[in-house]
Amino acid sequence: MNEENVAIRKFRADDYDAVMALWKASGLPFKPNGRDSREKILKEITQGIASFLVAIKGDTIIGTVLATHDGRKGWINRLAVATEFRGLGIAQRLLEEAEKTLYDRGIEIIACLIEDYNQTSMSFFQKSGYIKHTDIFYFTKRRHPGV
Ligand SMILES: CC(C)(COP(=O)(O)OP(=O)(O)OC[C@H]1O[C@@H](n2cnc3c(N)ncnc32)[C@H](O)[C@@H]1OP(=O)(O)O)[C@@H](O)C(=O)NCCC(=O)NCCS
């Protein structure tokens, strides 16, 4: 397959349903009733703190990445590539574009959270220069379940 036919562009509001379907099919843990609701995503990308990119082939969305920052640190979220397009370097391209949007905003450290079972994602990020920290635990406080 020729991945040169794959383009990367910004997420548009009418991509929402296709993106949710891709995340579901990818087995990506996401929060459709929380921070991944249509309303929350649209709000996030208009606030200037998020850069949401999609990879497309023809009219079909085959990959996503959501880069966010809080002014101090950048985060890579929701990186996913459709099963039949994996191993072609599409996630690598999405990551590089996402990192560039963060560097352009002056962010110099980028982080991501990966579930302990997700060896594929760990290999991917390690290959991309990310360091795995085994001495840090993730703590959260949620106002509502599902956020
Ligand atoms: C993780 C994921 C996004 C990788 O997408 P991809 O387009 O297949 O990745 P790429 O082709 O760009 O791979 C780049 C490098 O990552 C590593 N990599 C990718 N898939 C791998 C696998 N299954 N096993 C080991 N290493 C892998 C390789 O080093 C690869 O480089 P190489 O092909 O030169 O060896 C994809 O597997 C996916 O969508 N998984 C489900 C969703 C998910 O778990 N997302 C991450 C959440 S933290």
Task: Choose the residue to mutate in 57, 84, 86 for probing ligand 1, maximizing ligand atoms within 8 Å of C-beta.
Answer: 86
| pTM exceeding the 0.85 threshold for the entire prediction | yes
Q: How many domains in the chain? A: 1
**Does 80 reside within a domain?**
yes
The residue segments making up the domain with residue 55 are 3-127
**Does 74 reside within a domain?**
yes
The CATH code of the domain that includes 29 is: 3.40.630.30
**Does 79 reside within a domain?**
yes
Which are the contacts of 49, defined by CB distance < 8 A and separation ≥ 6?
68, 69, 70, 71
Q: What is the spatial distance between Cα 111 and Cα 134, in angstroms, rounded to a whole number?
A: 14
Give the confidence band of 48 by pLDDT, cuts at 50, 70, 90: confident
For ligand 1, atom 17: residue with the closest CA: 124
**Does 44 reside within a domain?**
yes
Pocket of ligand 1 (CB under 6 A): 26-28, 79-81, 86-92, 112, 114, 118, 120-121, 123-124, 127
Tens of pLDDT, residue by residue over 115-144, are 999 999 999 999 999 999 999 999 999 999
Nearest to 68 by CA among 44, 97, 90: 44
pLDDT of amino acid 1:
54
* Residue 138, phi-psi category: left (phi > 0), alpha (psi -120 to 50), beta (remainder): beta
Tens of pLDDT, residue by residue over 55-110, are 999 999 999 999 999 999 999 999 999 999 999 999 999 999 999 999 999 999 99
**Does 141 reside within a domain?**
no
